[in-house]
Amino acid sequence: MRRNRNVKIVATLGPASSDYDTIRALHEAGADVFRLNMSHGTQADIAERHRIIRQVEEDLDSPIAILGDLQGPKLRVGVFAKGEEDLVAGAAFRLDLDEAEGDATRVCLPHPEIFAALEPGANLLVNDGKIRLRVTACGPEFADCEVIAGGTISNRKGVNVPDVVLPLAALSEKDLSDLEFICELGVDWLALSFVQRPEDVTEARELVRGRAAIMSKIEKPAGVKRFDEILAVSDGIMVARGDLGVELPVQNVPPIQKRLIRRCRAAAKPVIVATQMLESMIDSPMPTRAEVSDVATAIYEGSDAIMLSAESAAGHYPVEAVRTMDNVAIEVESDPTYREVIEASRRVNRQSVADGIVAAAREIAETADIKVICCYTESGTTALLTARERPRVPILALTSLLGTARRLALTWGVTCVMTGELTRFKMAVINAARAARAHGYATESDQIVVTAGVPFNIPGTTNILRVAPCQESLIYATDPG
């Protein structure tokens, strides 16, 4: 399905978007990727949503990426005798391993790993940062704290520990079960939560065994500090601004977002900007102006995809939220300033033949009257490198592998078309011309750029480029071999 924009849209499925008609409407409105959130719903629920997505894909003949998002470790306090207590700034409050019900002076925190890592002066954030505690003394089974910012604390509220690297694996017991389940189900991307170090990603990769691409969620300060190492072992990145905005001062998040997007683009790895993009559309058919500006900023920065969470999963206007993102993207990308920003941020250290080929493809396409860049790709690498260039003309990726086509649905500017396996470059050019005409990218009087790797079907061999007419008789007449 051809879009009138380059940035992709990720829509989370949930109670408000679980039936065939809604999921199809979301895709037709602009959703390129569907996120299955393992934090909500049973495995049976997830399997049914997966089945429906694949049915929509088949009915519309449009490759759709499915992103399975693991929950990650959840750190929560215990329960209170009264259900909740009010903590006052300046008061003392203890967290410990005692499972007795809490009161205004203490509560259980059933995570000895936290106490093992804490030091005096560390901050603990409760209930999305609404309550801030500072550790004054600590041991293997307790942490005495001073209440810095008070508020109401209630049963099982989440706890964030921004100042230390926690000795916790990124994969909980639930995650291990969910990982195997969704990999066997057939998701295209696996989103890994709670990533603090590159070892978290390599551990998950061993378990995935090539069945899905791995997307690391950057939601902790430790992940930001070791970002380059994490990026090197990841297939993609999600800038998860929810927890990131809790554990860091909120003013730090926008520059971090911009830096991470640029590093992902330089590495030719897709990046999603996520969390609270159109939050008000959970209950309203119209977004706020600030939310529209936030979406636009992520697009101007060159992100591959922008994501809806509760807006499409549990909101009253899921289709409208996708359509709003689609409209914003179309408007932003038609702004001349958008091209200026995108091209000014093109900083690539080209080191391979493939890098040179895709750079030349963009230069030729933008210099001559070329309508589309057609790239043959088996692993997806050629399409990713082409997308890194952010060309002014569309990118048509041709592949014989459905899994590659689905994964590339997340990549900026790429439209995927299935094709058979090839053995000769001339047939690659002919198939590219046919696909360009069939999908409305070019007519017989136009020219296209075709890139491929010869010999075919060997990943990472992009080594040939041709400017070709879109008319088959001319292709045969000008074929050099």
Q: Which of 3, 54, 74, 76 is catalytic?
A: 76
Do residues 160 and 246 make contact, with C-beta atoms less than 8 angstroms apart? yes
- Whether 284 is in a domain gets the answer yes
The answer as to whether 143 is a domain residue is: yes
Same structural domain, 145 and 284? no
Does residue 2 fall inside a structural domain? no
Instruction: Give how many domains the chain has, as a whole number.
Output: 3
Q: To which H or E segment does residue 398 belong?
A: strand 395-399
What pLDDT shows up at residue 312? 98
Q: Active-site residue 35, yes or no? A: yes
Q: Which of 5, 35, 258, 265 is catalytic?
A: 35
**Is residue 367 domain-shared with residue 448, that is, in the same domain?**
yes
The last residue of a domain, from among 160, 194, 214? 160
- For 350-374, what is each residue's pLDDT tens digit? 788 999 999 999 999 999 989 999 9
Q: CA–CA separation, 355 vs 367, rounded Å?
A: 18
Residue 457 has pLDDT above 90, yes or no: no
Kindly tell me if the per-residue pLDDT of 347 is higher than 90: no
Q: Are residues 276 and 238 in the same domain?
A: yes
Catalytic residue among 217, 323, 371, 388: 217
Instruction: For residue 348, tell me if it sits in a domain.
Output: no
Do 67 and 203 fall into the same domain?
yes
The CATH number assigned to the domain holding 330 equals 3.20.20.60
Asked whether residue 138 falls in the same domain as residue 195, the answer is: no
| C-beta of residue 354 within 8 angstroms of C-beta of residue 61 | no
For residue 453, what pLDDT is reported? 85
| pLDDT above 60: residue 198 | yes
Please list, residue by residue across 98-136, b when 16 or more beta carbons sit within 10 angstroms of its beta carbon and e when fewer do.
beeebeeebbbbebeebbebbeeebbbbbbebebbbbbe
Q: 58 with 176, same domain?
A: yes
312 & 396 share domain: no
pLDDT surpassing 60 at residue 481: no
Residue 302 lies in a domain: yes
Contact present, 416 and 405 (Cβ < 8 Å)? yes
Is 76 known to be catalytic?
yes
Answer whether 0.85 is exceeded by the pTM. Answer: yes
Q: What angle do CA 67, 232, 171 make, to 5 degrees?
A: 50
Q: What is the mean pLDDT of residues 327-336?
A: 98
What is the band of 450 on the pLDDT scale with cuts at 50, 70, 90?
Answer: very high
Q: Are residues 13 and 95 in the same domain?
A: no
Average pLDDT over all residues of the chain: 94
Mean pLDDT value of segment 428-448: 94
Domain end among 334, 368, 389: 334
| Residue 343 lies inside a defined structural domain of this protein | no
Give me the pLDDT at residue 336, please: 96
Q: How far apart are CA 258 and CA 304, in angstroms?
A: 13
Q: Are residues 95 and 40 in the same domain?
A: no
Task: Establish if 342 belongs to a structural domain.
Answer: no
CATH number at residue 416: 3.40.1380.20
Asked whether residue 347 is domain-assigned, the answer is no
Element (H, E) at 94: strand 92-96
Distance CA 188, CA 236 (A): 12
Judge whether residue 113 has pLDDT over 60.
Answer: yes
Residue 247 has pLDDT above 80, yes or no: yes
CATH number (domain holding residue 117) = 2.40.33.10
245 pLDDT more than 80: yes
**Confidence category of residue 480, pLDDT binned at 50, 70, 90:** low
- Final residue belonging to a domain, choices 95, 128, 160: 160
Q: Taking 80 as the threshold, does the pLDDT of residue 96 lie above it?
A: yes
Q: Are residues 180 and 104 in the same domain?
A: no
Domain match, 240 and 123 both: no
Choice among 8, 49, 275, 419 that is catalytic: 275
Residue 217 tokens read as: 């969620």
Cis omega (within 30 of 0) for bond into 63 = no
Same domain, 305 and 411: no
Residues 21-79 have pLDDT tens digits of 999 999 999 999 999 999 998 999 999 999 999 999 999 999 999 999 999 988 999 99
217 a catalytic residue: yes
Percent of the chain with pLDDT over 70: 99
What are the phi and psi torsion angles at 158 (to 5°)?
-70, 150
Residue 76 DSSP one-character state: B
Q: The domain containing residue 406 runs over which residues? A: 353-478
